[in-house]
Amino acid sequence: MKILEKYLFLSILRASFATLLSLVVIFLFFKFLEELSDIGNANYTIRSSLQYLALSTPFVINSLTILGLMIGIIFSLGGLNTNKELQIFQVATISLKQLINKILFIGFIFSVIFLSASEAIFPITQKIAENYKSKLLGKNNNLHSSFWFKQDNKFVFLKKSNKNNDFDGIQVFELNNDSSLSSFSNNNNISFDGKVLESKNIKTTRLDNSNGYSMFEEEGTTDLTFSFDKSYIDNSIESLKTLSLRELLNLVLHSLENDISAGKYLTEMVTRLIRPFTLLAMVLVAIPYILNFDRSTSIGNRIFLGIVIGVLTHLLTKISTIISLKFEFLSFLGPFFPTLILIIVGLILIKNKLTNN
What H or E segment, with its residue span, contains residue 242? none
What does the mean pLDDT of the chain come to?
A: 77
Q: What are phi and psi of 137, to 5 degrees?
A: -90, -5
Q: Which letter, b or e, does each residue of 112-136 get, where b requires 16 or more Cβ atoms within 10 Å of its Cβ?
A: eebbeebbebbbebbbebbbbbeeb
pLDDT tens sequence across 109-163? 999 998 888 888 888 898 888 888 888 887 755 445 567 777 777 788 777 655 5
Query: Which whole number is the average pLDDT over 205-216?
Result: 63
pLDDT tens sequence across 287-320? 877 776 555 556 667 667 767 777 777 778 777 7
Return the sign of the alpha-carbon dihedral for residues 67, 70, 71, 76.
positive
Of all residues in the chain, the percent with pLDDT exceeding 90 is 8
Model pLDDT, residue 30: 92
Domain extents for the chain? 3-138+262-356, 146-193+195-228
Q: Half-sphere exposure of 197 toward its Cβ, with a 13 Å CA cutoff?
A: 25
* Structural contact between residues 23 and 68, judged by C-beta atoms closer than 8 angstroms: yes
Q: Is the pTM of this model over 0.95?
A: no
